[in-house]
Amino acid sequence: MDGADRPDLARVRGMATLLRHRSRAVVSSLVDGLLVGGAEAALDLPARSRQRAAVYVGLLAVTVIDTLVKELPTLRRMARGLPPEPVPGSDSHAAMRSGLLSGAWGLLATVADGPIARALRRRGRQHPHLLIGVLAGTATALSTLPVWWARAAERAAADEASEALDRELADLLAES
């Protein structure tokens, strides 16, 4: 009896796939929040300073690493000389929706930044942009999480269907 024929093993594999996709969803959401919140929090640092530049370079590095991790399967295919698989429309839709939500929170933080920072400074807050950044980043992460979470469930279901099809094909080939 093959391990794939056991329903409990198939269920565990399906749960692992779902966990992997949901973990990736949480990371994507956290990256969205970090980018918006980090850019806002950096405003507490002196303009054109090394510290602010370091924060922006760090945010750029996070973006590059996140993109490379997302595109790793495509990069692997291309390294083997295979053409990249087309990007599913649902992936593009999720990325666009997440980008719009992140952009909206970033824009809101930018517009509200001046008056809120002044009010916080009057109340004795030393680093008002840090507080605004934490709030904007948290709001961004919480608002993009449902987008990535739903996409993770869709990916896990597609993976499970593909594995079932592969098992069925293997059984047909074994019978013939």
Residue 14, pLDDT > 50, answer yes
Q: What is the pLDDT of residues 98-120, one digit of tens each?
A: 999 999 999 999 999 999 999 99
**Environment class of 82 (CB within 10 Å of its CB; exposed 0-12, middle 13-18, buried 19+):** exposed
**Distance separating alpha carbons of residues 51 and 58, to the nearest angstrom:** 10
Residue 1, pLDDT > 50, answer no
Q: What's the predicted TM-score (pTM) here?
A: 0.83
Residue 16, pLDDT > 80, answer no
